[in-house]
Amino acid sequence: MSKKHLFLLLICCLVFQAQGFSSVFASSKETKAVYGSSSETPLHSLLAQPESKEASKKPPVPPKKMKPPVKKNLPKTRPTPLKPPKGNGPTAIPIGSHAPDSPSLWVSSMDGSSVTLSWSTGAEQYQLEKWSDITQQWETIYTGADTKYIDSDIQSAESYFYHVAGQNGEESSAWNFNGGYVAYTPYPDYTGAQSYFTVHATSTKTTFTGYGGEYYVLYEWINNDWVELYYGPDQSFEDLEVMPNHESMYYVLVWNGNEWMGTNGYGYVSVNTPPAMPQNLKAQPSATAIKLRWDAVSGAPLEDQIINYHILVNNEEIGSTTETSFVVPNVKPGTEYTVSIFADNSLWAKSDRNELHVKTMPTTGKLLEYKYNSKNQLDEIQADGIVIVKFHYDENGNLLRREILQ
């Protein structure tokens, strides 16, 4: 072969190799455009989960949205204490500092004739109720310490409604999802263990955590339509567009690697947010008592707008009231106490706690004054106009130290 032919052959090889690299690069860009998720990241905060190689590929478009929620006009109730509280009045309300948190409830398994309900742990015993279309009442179907129950009274193509509450001694949580329920609709084409999700609702956000799937789609019932809130592989999602004391309905679809499946059969959940945390908590101590006051919390939009305020001293509840002031009696002179309050609504859904550190007056009779900064945090304590304690915070408002000056 002549040198001319060798030179032409070398040129052809170089051109072919360049085209190959170009194709690979173009293919990589194309793959990133198809499988990249940066353009789909929702505005809400997401807690990312490492993706497997299989999970990185998008599943087919989710199936048609489910039907509207079944309008049952289910009455909103509070659990019946399994162990009735002692006494009468506000202190007999069976929710307080030792009451368990409102649990999550889900369908963990089902077949054509039964459904297995599971719920989150955290209480000594539980009470599970099911709505009866015959009596038009919630009826207790289980009490005990287990966190699972099999309901064998099931027929296909019907919807069933459940709620569960946890109880510690005389104190009770709200029903699951702060007074909500699970609407279960049997799905005969998919039996056995089910994918599911848990819900944790506060007055400022509702957090959903999915299990058993590679992709999730979350819908909320808004203005008579199911509105998509999230679609993607992340296991957890936070809905930040919530209001205190508000009921919302959600359902979730899960891609299990082969097909889209509903959760709770093809059902939905009713979730209530608790009241807002009481604001502007102030203390006026003497040598023997501490007078507290705070801003009122609205019970709207619940029909029953009763709000109870629970008062705790050193993490132990000493009473409750529907007013916006309370006197803590029988305190010791010259002693520091941690005083906190939280609100609960007519469903026993609990707000976050607002907390103060209060030091009572010594027996010398000096007048103590508590000074607060612009963030409503205790800034200093004065005795007869002289600063005796100074509080120091970081830029995020976290307490760094208390400086004793006198």
pLDDT at 157: 59
What pLDDT digit, counting tens, does each position of 121-137 carry?
Answer: 999 999 999 998 888 88
pLDDT at 368: 75
* Average pLDDT value for the chain: 80
In 3-state terms, what secondary structure has residue 17? helix
What pLDDT digit, counting tens, does each position of 241-260 carry?
Answer: 999 988 999 999 999 888 88
What pLDDT digit, counting tens, does each position of 90-113 carry?
Answer: 344 556 667 888 999 999 999 878
Alpha-carbon distance 282 to 186, whole Å? 52
What is the edge-to-edge ordering of all strands in the sheet holding 148-151? 148-151, 115-119, 105-110, 192-193
pLDDT category at 87 given cuts 50, 70, 90 is: very low
Place of tokens 């409102």: 102
Place of tokens 């939009």: 301
What pLDDT digit, counting tens, does each position of 159-189 carry?
Answer: 899 999 998 888 888 899 999 999 998 877 7
Nearest to 211 by CA among 256, 169, 172: 256
pLDDT category at 45 given cuts 50, 70, 90 is: very low
Alpha-carbon distance 217 to 261, whole Å? 10
What pLDDT digit, counting tens, does each position of 187-213 carry?
Answer: 777 788 899 999 999 999 999 999 999
What is the average pLDDT across 66-85?
A: 68
* Higher-pLDDT residue of 7, 321: 321
Domains, in order of start, for the chain: 46-272 (2.60.40.10), 282-404 (2.60.40.10)
309 Ramachandran zone, left/alpha/beta (phi>0; psi -120 to 50): beta
What pLDDT digit, counting tens, does each position of 57-75 carry?
Answer: 678 878 766 777 776 667 7
Alpha-carbon distance 161 to 147, whole Å? 17
What is the average pLDDT across 3-21?
A: 48
Q: pTM (2 decimals)?
A: 0.71
Does the N-terminal peptide bond of residue 301 adopt cis geometry, omega within 30 degrees of 0? yes
Q: What secondary structure, in 3-state letters, does 58-124 show?
A: CCCCCCCCCCCCCCCCCCCCCCCCCCCCCCCCHHHCCCCCCCCCCCCEEEEEECCCCEEEEECCCCC
28 has a pLDDT exceeding 50 = no
